[in-house]
Amino acid sequence: MKIKVIFSALLLIYSSSNATENHPHWGYKGEENPENWGKLSPNYSLCETGKNQSPVNIHGALTALNERLNFTFKPGVQEVLNTGYTIQVNTGAGNLLHLDNDTFTLQQFHFHAPGENEIEGKQYPLEAHFVYKNAQGALAVVALMFREGKGNPQLANAWEQTPAEAEKIIVLDKAVDISTLIPTQSEYYRFSGSLTTPPCSEGVRWLVLKDIASVSSGQINHFRTVISYDNNRPIQPLNGRVIVN
């Protein structure tokens, strides 16, 4: 177990080093705020020039025959880390999303407070992004909104162990039960979008769940203590994109 933690830490440091060398630092405030991401590097140009950017305000959705989301969950080792931008949980193999006659594997899930996507102009205090990838590297993101209410025991599993220090990884002694966290029978909104952080790559399949989960005010405050600023990108224009449900 210790070897795994050391290896993961080295991998994170290596990735961060490469990011520093190849891509300038970005952020959510000051001169590195989202409005300036596209100017920080040519690699981030889509943040400014892209026409299919995320997040969006979901409104005027067209009724379509969206396929039922088909998840497979497998218990395994999970790591929680404070990336400096968010709280992120890295997941093991076997957590799958079957979509469009293809299979996507869950890579990690992370959080934004306040939420990034809006539904009919409503912004939620917290939003989770479950990032899936297929064999060709295409991405699908399942977004789950949280309203303030009852505490969420699955978030408690992860957040109680989240390191205060950025870029530090901890192996969870009790994994998050993703099958309980995600309302798997939820209907959803679908649209084509992008990553909500640099390089703002497009072609991401966004699936925003209609069912809303619950999180306590204390859990929201805990997140805001660890990540000491709003880590949401502002709403982006639809530019004629169609949202279906």
- For the chain, report the end-to-end CA distance as a whole number of angstroms: 43
Which helix (H) or strand (E) segment is 116 a member of? Answer: none
Characterize the bridge pairing of strands 57-58 and 70-72. Answer: unpaired
Give a yes or no: residue 193 inside a domain: yes
Which residue in 1, 34, 20, 24 sits closest to 229, CA to CA? 34
pLDDT at 7: 35
pLDDT at 54: 98
Give a yes or no: residue 233 inside a domain: no
pLDDT at 3: 39
Give a yes or no: residue 109 inside a domain: yes
**Per residue in 5-16, pLDDT tens?**
333 433 443 333
Q: What is the mean pLDDT of the chain?
A: 90
Characterize the bridge pairing of strands 188-194 and 202-209. Answer: antiparallel
Provide the whole-model pTM. 0.90
DSSP bridge partners of 82: 87, 168
**Per residue in 98-123, pLDDT tens?**
999 999 999 999 999 999 999 999 99
**Per residue in 152-208, pLDDT tens?**
999 998 988 999 899 999 999 999 999 999 998 889 999 999 999 999 999 999 999
> ω before 163 within 30° of 0 (cis)?
no
pLDDT at 66: 87
Residue 129 has pLDDT above 90, yes or no: yes
Identify the band that residue 23 occupies on the pLDDT scale cut at 50, 70 and 90: low
pLDDT at 157: 84
Q: 3-state class of 176 per DSSP?
A: coil
CB neighbour burial string for 47-73, b if at least 16 within 10 angstroms, e if fewer: beebebbbbbbbeebeeeeeeebebeb
Q: What is the separation of C-alpha 187 from the centre of its chain, rounded to a whole number of angstroms?
A: 19
CB neighbour burial string for 211-245, b if at least 16 within 10 angstroms, e if fewer: eebebbeebbebbbebbeeebbbebbebeeeebee
Give a yes or no: residue 243 inside a domain: no
Q: Tokens in use for 98?
A: 């079957």
Which helix (H) or strand (E) segment is 174 a member of? Answer: none
Give a yes or no: residue 35 inside a domain: yes
Domain that holds residue 185: 2-226
pLDDT at 22: 55
Q: How many domains does the chain contain in total?
A: 1
Give a yes or no: residue 232 inside a domain: no
Give a yes or no: residue 62 inside a domain: yes
Characterize the bridge pairing of strands 118-119 and 57-58. Answer: parallel
pLDDT at 16: 39
Residue 234 has pLDDT above 60, yes or no: yes
CATH number at residue 49: 3.10.200.10
Give a yes or no: residue 241 inside a domain: no
